Each structure stands twice: as C-alpha cells, then as structure tokens.
Chain A
C-alpha cells in the first residue's frame, strides 16, 4: 500500500506569491494534518481536517488556509509569501478523528526568495 504522498517535492517562490501544496493520505484514512518544519526545529501544527471539515488550527496567520476533498486528499494554500515561510511542509494522515497515530509524508520543501 502506498504511504502518504505529497507534491511537489521542492518549490521555489518569490515573496508575495501564492503557493498550493498537495497531500494524498493513506487509503482509508479520513484525517489529514499539516505541519511546518523550519530548519533545526520541530514541526509546528498548522491544521487538522477530518471529513472535509477543519477540526483544529495552530497559531498561524490567515494567509494559511487548507481544504480537504471528498476523496480525503488535501491542499494547503499560503498567500502573500514571506521569507519566513521557507520550510519543510509535512502532511500526516490518520485513520479517524480520535486516532492519534499519524503517518507522515516526505514533505514539500518550500523556498521563498
């Protein structure tokens, strides 16, 4: 079975631009979470989605948004990119809302210049 997949692998954007990152969960998993990992730090929670609804949000500005589709895949959108948004963006899936065992994808490396 395929694990969590993310696309693209790497991305370079300019300040002020918009970016969309994509995630496909493990088959049968209905919950997707997004994290930002800045170099040298632990991942920071951004969002959790379950059954297409936002169930949790971390301390990120409104420039960050996400959605989950009927097939449980998800997109993370970031508007008005700042240099500080450069990071590894991780997606994790879990089987249900109260299943806390998360499986992580390889991440998307975003560089903002």
Chain B
C-alpha cells in the first residue's frame, strides 16, 4: 500500500528566509513523487517531480526537493521565500506501474513581510 504524510499542516516564514515543507511517503514499489502548488482560486500547478533519476530535483520558482530512500522522505525547500509563494502545497506519490495517485493532506505556507 502507498501513502504520503505531510508533517506540517501550516508553515509560517518571513520573506527572504528559507522554506522547508516536509513529506514522508510509504510505497511498496519504486515511487514517482511530485510536489504541486495550489494558489487560492487557481488550479494545481506542478512544481517538480522525481521519477528515479537524480535524487535532487529542481523545479520552478526556485524550489527543489531531495529524494531520500533511506528516510522515505521528499522534502521541498527554497532558499528564500517570496510573498508570492504563499499557497497550499501538496506532496503526491504514484507507484510505478500503478494507476492510483495519492495526495498528501497539504501544507499551507504563510509568508510574512
């Protein structure tokens, strides 16, 4: 069985400081992992993906994530937060060969001026 846990429901940072959004996964097979962002009243946008290539994945808007198999983690980071980063972030797992996508519960990122 596969599952994904986002360890924080809310994260608050100041503009210009680093962002860390944590995600742990459980999968019986080699997983494909994604981060999506959802701004208010807007659709889900793909930030980055891991599909068994490089373990450090770079995405859009300066975000990156590192796949750590030993820790079953796929945490999202950004060196310097911007006000426009305030949104809901979802960690997603899809089993290779499977046809079921599992979303985490989401982490709401707040960015203070």
Contact = CB atoms under 8 A, between A and B. Distances in A.
Interface residues of B, number: 22
A51 to B, nearest CB: 13
Contacts, number: 52
Main SS at interface, chain A: loop
Contacts of A105: 43
B44 interface: yes
Interface of A: 4, 33, 35, 41-45, 48, 55-56, 58, 90, 92, 97-98, 100-107
Contacts of B98: 56
A6 B103 CA distance: 21
B101 interface: yes
Contacts of B104: 42
Interface string B89-109: 010001001111111111000
